[in-house]
Structure 1
Amino acid sequence: MAVKTLKELLSSGRPVFLDGATGTNLMKAGMPAGVCPEKWILEHPDVMKELQAGYAAAGSDIVYAPTFTCSRIKLAEYGLEDKLYEMNRSLVELTREAVGDKCLVAGDLTMTGRQLKPVGDLDFEELIDVYKEQIRALDDAGVDLLVVETMMSLQECRAALIAAGEVSELPVIVTLTFETDGRTLYGTEAGCAAAVMEAMGAAAVGANCSSGPSQMVSVIREMASSCSIPIIAKPNAGMPQIVDGQTVYKMTPEEFCSEFEDIIRAGASVLGGCCGSATAYIKALSDKYRDLDTKAIVVSNDDETCRIDPACRVLTSSRSILKFKDGDPFMIVGERINPTGKKALQAELREGSMDLVCDFAARQEEDGAAILDVNVGCSGIDEKEIMLKAIDELTQISDLPLCIDSSNPEVIEAALRIYPGRALINSISLEEGKAEKLLPLAKKYGAMFVLLPVGVNGIPQTVEEKIDNIRELADKAYEYGLKINDIVVDGLVATVGADPEAAIKMLDTISWCSENGFATICGLSNISFGLPLRSFVNTAFLTMAIDRGLTMAIANPGQEMLVNAAFASDLLKMRDGADIRYIERMQRYIGEDGKPYKFGMIRPGSDQTAPGKDKRTLVRSGDGTDVSRPLDPKEDAAAQLKKDLMSGNKRKIEANTRIALDAGLKPEEILNDILMAGINEVGKKFDKGEYFLPQLIGSAEAMKLSIAVLEPLLKAEGAGGPSKGTIVFATVHGDVHDIGKNLVVLMLKNCGYEVYDMGKDVETEAIIDKALEVDADVIGLSALMTTTMTEMKNVIKLANERNCKARIVIGGACVTQEYADEIGADGYSADAADCVRLIDNMLGNAS
């Protein structure tokens, strides 16, 4: 074989060709639904070998060993977990026999079917161990690389990469599957996923499954513009259709191949097929595109930029990406989540409460912070435990990237390991041993870091000393494989009251960094320490620093004058988007009557409701002056309860439900006017793409807790009413996916239905038996795979044969309204919120 390694393939300058579908082709060859695919393959090796030999002959450079679901968790569903090692090894050997030395063989991993906390019950470290077991087996079997594919969760991708890095030296490529809005089921943007995977060391990243080639173009473009590693495109052969009860992909190999032109122009250079694509599809790709110069194709695309700017820096949360480069608008790193000088926060952290942490996060995001600094270090706590708890809470409620701030390397490592995005470390210096401990962590977990130019002799006294320390520490970072774009230099702001040259030294440091390609950060407040009316000094200094090229500052975004000066500075420097950004910022100072608030007034909501203060709201009196009045206790309690529901605040909603009752709200008012109305609003936000699966589940779980408080009162008063209907819900036979089904069940129960959840992979007869037993009004069926959705037709057929009067509604990723009509279902829903509305309307319960 001319090319022997993945690295050589990816750097060859031509497209790299993967294989096509495995599951749909095995189903065509006779593999029944509901069996363990790996076991069936080993019992019918010739079927698999013929398919893989065909891909090799068609031009595949890489063929996936059929180890897709050969993990401990998946095998346990068939009682085969103790066969993990030998099954993985045998499947790799089978593939090697099929392709010989014509292709590289990839060990294939995917999601386990169990969801990570808080959505599911799986611990992150347990998932890492599950992946480690399979990777060891694959490595021992002699695969050439690992592929992590069909992933819906960025955090599960991270777990697989961490596991691979800790037990193997094999290169890893990763592909995720995306919804029609360009996000994963868990709400992660395509560019965000690509950036995180590159930072953590993936050799290539991309998308597979979920759509045909043309629908995948925008996802590929977004990934290519967010990372510099090769991009993978492995789409389905169009969208599936059901013909005579069989799943059929009608797109021809020629059509499939033709639609790849736009995918290649969008930035993909690793090409293959997923569901519905047989050997002819891969041959068509290989024949047409093998001699293309992929780098030239990408560069020649004049429509949109399809590769990331080399000067771009990237941080991410679990869902969103933050890109910035020199000359972009200034950013604030919110400093409020830090117990130093905050007695109330210290007390809460000692009690393990995250209320203030989450309140500070929400307020800072509202006030314009781009990044949230998280420091929980104080006496009387287990800092690691509290840091992990804070990250868990913050990643659920905020889309802002986090800056992990601790003086303890163990705390930083624990935080980076669990953080489901690309974080910023605050900070790394030349102090004895610190760089040697933390730089490897930044590399391993794909983090950026704040370079603090403190040397072994302490704080530098001159600009020249700072620059020497910056160079020395940057060189150390490069030795660990980090790049200049991974570094943000802290210029070390001193106090102008003690050193009159402090501001000048800092400004000169910023200038040097900007001229030499470094991003910069500073803690603003030090400059004015010991001076009266410090905000004026801080604001003036900030505008001067922005002019010199300051990238970001750690500050309180609630300081109105400071933040507004930063927005105005960007405007005057003509930075991209600064004009609109400034105008939008100023809208917060305009009252409902269109008149501006008086200069210097605290705007509505800015600090009036800070912890420990009376909750008030500003209103405009008849003569145009501003006055304040207390909120009505009932209004206040209702507003807070709705806020808890909308944000999925499981920490407070039970207590606030009791507060609402004490304020005089009736149980039925809370249930109908706040909880039911609120969950309907959550559903609408989910439909619009404003909320994603974690938020939907969070709100549903919060509602469940509130209802538990109300339930005894509703029953005592007879206000709860009878059940709105009886529903039997199941994932159909052969399908072991239940994320969507579980959420539907939870929401239906919250909405007053009696629901019998039969689980996943449920036999058709069992579903109908249960529906007849409980006299169900509705049967709900879920399926994620095209190979199992045909079982829905069998359920409908048996229901008719046995005179089951329950109406049948169906849903799932591959299910459509057209399919529902074809098989005679009574209804189709696209998601959980839609399913609740559908059943409400079907049973006459719509309000």
Structure 2
Amino acid sequence: MKKEELYRRLEKEILIFDGAMGTMLQQSGLKAGECPEAMNLHHEESIFQIHRKYVEAGCRIIQTNTFGANRIKLDLYGLADQVEAINAKGAAIARKAAGEGCLVAGDMGPIGKLLSPLGPLSYEEAYHTFYEQAKALIEGGVDLINIETMSDIQEAKIAVIAAKDAGDVPVICTMTFQKDLRTLTGTDPETAAAILEALDVAVLGANCSFGPDMMINVLERMYKITKKPLIVQPNAGLPKLVNGETCFDLSPEEMAGYAKTLVAAGANIIGGCCGTTPGHMEAMAKTLSGEKPIQRQTITCSKLSSGSKTVFIDEALPYNIIGECINLTGRKHLMESVRENNFHVIAKEAQSQVTAGAQIIDVNMGIRDGMVREETAMVNGIMAVQRAVDAPLSIDTVNVEVMEAALKVYRGKPLLNSTNGEDASLDRVIHLAKRYGAAILGLTLDQQGIPETVEKRFHLAKKIVNRAVKAGIPKEDIFIDTLTLTAGAQQKWVPDTLKTLRRVKEELGVRTILGVSNISHGLPNRRDLTAAYLAMALEAGLDVPIINPYEEKIWAVLRSANVLTGRDEKAQEYIRWASEKVEAERSKEQKVKKESLFEAVIEGERERVPNLIKGLQQQGFSAMEIIQEQVVKALEAVGEGYEKQTYFLPQLLMAAEAAQSAFVCLKEDLEQESYEKIGTYLIATVKGDIHDIGKNIVSIMLQNHGFKVVDLGKDVPTETIIQKAIEEKPDIIGLSALMTTTMQEMQEVVEGLKNKDLNIPVMVGGAVVTEVFAASIGAEYAADAVEAVKAAKRIIEKKKALE
């Protein structure tokens, strides 16, 4: 099936996706601990009947029973060699059940491991894992690929790239959000939509997460910023335990009551996730019979994204700037830091520029002394900067190999800076932008240099734009730089840059960028000259200046221009800026905070930890003081930031790793100082559940806050948990479950402990677990790792008070 064919259907009708497969498999006899996808090989008729029930309910897209049929997940069941067989069979069963008029979507879920640097999974391993599964599904005859329940935008990006490489079928991708409307790794709906749109998925949206009530907000936010059709697959409300079985609280009729509201919020495809059945989908189909999708918006703003934030560029919005200061040319301290593999300095420079007001950060790691490979420096620089700031990045290099290496590790939608009118460069950079989902910056030069006339420069700009548009890059993702030349050396060409810029803006309809600071190079009083040129460039149609954000006069021009062009309504931002007397120009001493272990842990700079600890020990601090006053307080600060949504999971994990490094360095000293653990925490993922990412994060956080953690792993039988509780005598037992089919195992553990007269507090958590469910089985509830630490400390304090 071609994407255009799918779009023709979506213009005329609301397509009904099927509902939960896991819920139906459970009803068909799937036992805890069994591989759901293996049923394709051994219980073909059961899978066929589930598909048929959804087709008969009115579903026009059904998904293969292959959610976890990737090599890494199947290996947990000893089935890694069955990837092709399980996926091909799943496609064949669904195709047979679909009949005429019903599409088959090859279902692909997450791998189940975190990507580097948060976890052990490399880009290459993830790519090959997804490619293998997608290839088997496409060769098996599916009409499209559905990548779903993604909690990490980087993993979603890799899955989309792999699926598109595997075959020419439409690709759908949905993210799963938490109650704060961010994914596990911190991506909001707008950013998810911007990144997935740039990858040119056919349809994007959200699934699982929660019930249809909260999905409305997610849809509305995505609809406002993307032209792509939207899909939504909510759960049937919230899970609860009834007579030992997991149920959801929305009936088919209640869920169908949200159907038209979901359409009004922008949904083109509506399905169901956890707890939904053919009955739910039949009610949805009847409610939406004859319903038409709302008209797609015309989106003209440009978007650049990090993994957690999107910057919008449009004539109606205040000007954004690209901070230019991460450039090794002429910056000796940055060059030395890269040679010494000290990317903390690069990260701090990014933070300082963001603090000064830069919304986008340019990263240029061009180094030509033979001591450091540019590719290595760029990858390390991108990793350090995206860890330190949430601003989108501009990947600044003309080397396409370096550019691609950076794209593989970047979590968002960057600007590729740059290409030009030379055919080889232009074609390769356009290809990378299409493949990895990026915007491009084209320079008005070619292999013969910068043209001497406005007409020739404009011709190159037009060539770049036409070539990019023909390749499928939307105009809002194309930026043109008409090249600022120095007034000191090439004064007669200065007006030509602005004349060309004006023509590009008016005739080509794309965004414009200029490296404004170049104008004053080699001349005195550079700030005044640069500010004057910036004002002229803005009037000529400049959208985004690349500039030094520490210059106060630059901000005076930009803030004033925002008022005078109506971008700053009622001059609100201008008045705020003036009243606060913001001083954007800072000395290096002002920009860089005093280095401390506290700061290193917060920023996840684990490589700096050993030397900082040595320094503290030389000053006379004990190991206990270092842990309590620096490490634990830093973790608490990160935890507070996580709760306030100023930090997200990547920062949480990086800080945890830095803290672990401190504990390793101080292990012997802590033992000599008789460092006592706060308490013992026994933790496990319950029987039948092979997911352990959340459990592992909780374990790391508890260890760093002073708990002895006994981690029993995943798929742990109730009997084992109880036996270990008897042996270890823990203060708390933590239980994790990701699937609705395994939630009831938590109740089994609680009841088993009571039967053994073990009065040990139990804490439960996981994607499907709720506070109501926890209370119903007599357990404490922790929504995430930060809350787990707080709850564990409360339990210990209460226990000590009673002793």
- State the secondary structure of the residue aligned to 1:198: helix
Q: Which residue of 2 aligns with 1:386?
A: 377
Quick one: structure 1 residues 538 and 82, their matched pair in 2 at CA, closer, same or farther if it must change by over 3 Å?
same
The answer on 1:744 being equivalent to 2:692 is: no
The answer on 1:539 being equivalent to 2:540 is: no
Q: Which residue of 1 aligns with 2:716?
A: 762
Deviations 1:685-708 (A, max 9, x none): 222222211111111111121233
1:47 and 1:403 map into 2 onto residues whose CA distance is: 51
Q: Which residue of 2 aligns with 1:598?
A: none
The answer on 1:802 being equivalent to 2:802 is: no
Deviations 1:548-599 (A, max 9, x none): 3211111111122223332222223331458333344446647xxxxxxxxx
2:311 and 2:767 map into 1 onto residues whose CA distance is: 29
Whether the 8 Å CA contact 2:315–2:567 is kept in 1: the answer is: no
CA shift, 1:812, in A, is 1.6
CA shift, 1:310, in A, is 2.5
Deviations 1:590-618 (A, max 9, x none): 7xxxxxxxxxx887x6532467xxx7xxx
CA shift, 1:85, in A, is 0.9
641, 649, 662: which one aligns with 1:685: 641
2:70 and 2:617 map into 1 onto residues whose CA distance is: 49
Q: Which residue of 2 aligns with 1:629?
A: none
Deviations 1:56-80 (A, max 9, x none): 1222111101011111011100101
- Report 1:57-72 matches (<5 A): 57-72=56-71
Whether the 8 Å CA contact 1:777–1:805 is kept in 2: the answer is: no
1:163 and 1:224 map into 2 onto residues whose CA distance is: 26
2:191 and 2:218 map into 1 onto residues whose CA distance is: 11
The answer on 1:445 being equivalent to 2:436 is: yes
- The percentage of aligned residue pairs carrying the same residue is 37
Deviations 1:342-401 (A, max 9, x none): 222222222322122111111111111111111111122111122112222222221111
Whether the 8 Å CA contact 1:238–1:251 is kept in 2: the answer is: yes
- Report 1:9-408 matches (<5 A): 10-296=9-295, 307=297, 309-379=298-368, 380=370, 381-408=372-399
Whether the 8 Å CA contact 1:190–1:223 is kept in 2: the answer is: yes
**Mean Cα displacement is larger for which, 20-29 or 652-661?**
652-661
1:6 and 1:790 map into 2 onto residues whose CA distance is: 44
1:255 and 1:167 map into 2 onto residues whose CA distance is: 40
594, 599, 603: which one aligns with 1:643: 599
Quick one: structure 1 residues 239 and 9, their matched pair in 2 at CA, closer, same or farther if it must change by over 3 Å?
farther
417, 425, 443: which one aligns with 2:408: 417
CA shift, 1:734, in A, is 1.2
The one-letter code matched in structure 1 to 2:404 is: E
2:4 and 2:485 map into 1 onto residues whose CA distance is: 52
2:584 and 2:426 map into 1 onto residues whose CA distance is: 43
1:87 and 1:41 map into 2 onto residues whose CA distance is: 6
Deviations 1:389-437 (A, max 9, x none): 2222222221111111112111112222332111101111112521122
Whether the 8 Å CA contact 2:18–2:62 is kept in 1: the answer is: yes
The answer on 1:457 being equivalent to 2:448 is: yes
Whether the 8 Å CA contact 2:17–2:62 is kept in 1: the answer is: yes
1:496 and 1:822 map into 2 onto residues whose CA distance is: 74
The one-letter code matched in structure 1 to 2:691 is: H
CA shift, 1:293, in A, is 2.3
- State the secondary structure of the residue aligned to 2:401: helix
- State the secondary structure of the residue aligned to 1:457: coil
Q: Which residue of 2 aligns with 1:580?
A: 572
CA shift, 1:11, in A, is 4.0
Structure 1 residue ranges without an equivalent (≥5) = 299-306, 591-600, 616-635
TM-score (norm 2): 0.95
Q: Which residue of 2 aligns with 1:564?
A: 556
Whether the 8 Å CA contact 1:373–1:405 is kept in 2: the answer is: yes
Deviations 1:155-204 (A, max 9, x none): 11111111122221121101111011111011011111111111112000
The one-letter code matched in structure 1 to 2:795 is: M
- State the secondary structure of the residue aligned to 1:433: helix
- State the secondary structure of the residue aligned to 2:588: coil
Quick one: structure 1 residues 114 and 360, their matched pair in 2 at CA, closer, same or farther if it must change by over 3 Å?
same
2:235 and 2:770 map into 1 onto residues whose CA distance is: 16
- State the secondary structure of the residue aligned to 1:119: coil
RMSD over aligned CA atoms reads 2.2
Quick one: structure 1 residues 138 and 14, their matched pair in 2 at CA, closer, same or farther if it must change by over 3 Å?
same
**Mean Cα displacement is larger for which, 670-679 or 377-386?**
670-679
The one-letter code matched in structure 1 to 2:788 is: C
Whether the 8 Å CA contact 1:5–1:144 is kept in 2: the answer is: no
2:656 and 2:140 map into 1 onto residues whose CA distance is: 44
Quick one: structure 1 residues 328 and 12, their matched pair in 2 at CA, closer, same or farther if it must change by over 3 Å?
closer
- Report 1:825-836 matches (<5 A): 825=779, 827-836=780-789
Deviations 1:119-165 (A, max 9, x none): 21111110000011111111111111110011111111111111122
CA shift, 1:652, in A, is 1.9
1:184 and 1:463 map into 2 onto residues whose CA distance is: 47
Q: Which residue of 2 aligns with 1:819?
A: 773
Q: Which residue of 1 aligns with 2:672?
A: 716
Whether the 8 Å CA contact 1:239–1:249 is kept in 2: the answer is: yes
CA shift, 1:664, in A, is 4.1
CA shift, 1:776, in A, is 1.7
Q: Which residue of 2 aligns with 1:469?
A: 460
495, 500, 521: which one aligns with 1:509: 500
1:436 and 1:9 map into 2 onto residues whose CA distance is: 30
1:167 and 1:537 map into 2 onto residues whose CA distance is: 53
Would you say how many aligned residue pairs link Structure 1 and Structure 2? 797
Whether the 8 Å CA contact 2:362–2:394 is kept in 1: the answer is: yes
Whether the 8 Å CA contact 1:109–1:148 is kept in 2: the answer is: yes
Q: Which residue of 1 aligns with 2:738?
A: 784
623, 632, 656: which one aligns with 1:700: 656
CA shift, 1:760, in A, is 1.0
- State the secondary structure of the residue aligned to 1:787: helix
2:8 and 2:500 map into 1 onto residues whose CA distance is: 43
CA shift, 1:654, in A, is 2.8
The one-letter code matched in structure 2 to 1:692 is: F
Q: Which residue of 2 aligns with 1:842?
A: 795
Deviations 1:189-227 (A, max 9, x none): 111111111111200001111111111011111111221
Q: Which residue of 2 aligns with 1:551?
A: 543
1:199 and 1:421 map into 2 onto residues whose CA distance is: 10
Quick one: structure 1 residues 246 and 432, their matched pair in 2 at CA, closer, same or farther if it must change by over 3 Å?
closer
The one-letter code matched in structure 1 to 2:527 is: S
The one-letter code matched in structure 1 to 2:589 is: Q
Whether the 8 Å CA contact 1:503–1:541 is kept in 2: the answer is: no
Quick one: structure 1 residues 504 and 204, their matched pair in 2 at CA, closer, same or farther if it must change by over 3 Å?
same
1:502 and 1:540 map into 2 onto residues whose CA distance is: 16
- State the secondary structure of the residue aligned to 2:589: coil
The answer on 1:498 being equivalent to 2:497 is: no
The one-letter code matched in structure 2 to 1:210 is: S
588, 610, 617: which one aligns with 1:607: 588
Deviations 1:22-69 (A, max 9, x none): 101211222111110012343222222122111112221111010111
Whether the 8 Å CA contact 2:313–2:319 is kept in 1: the answer is: no
Whether the 8 Å CA contact 1:6–1:171 is kept in 2: the answer is: no
The one-letter code matched in structure 2 to 1:113 is: G
1:559 and 1:95 map into 2 onto residues whose CA distance is: 62
CA shift, 1:764, in A, is 0.9
The answer on 1:733 being equivalent to 2:714 is: no
The one-letter code matched in structure 2 to 1:228 is: K
TM-score (norm 1): 0.90
Structure 2 residue ranges without an equivalent (≥5) = none
The one-letter code matched in structure 2 to 1:161 is: V
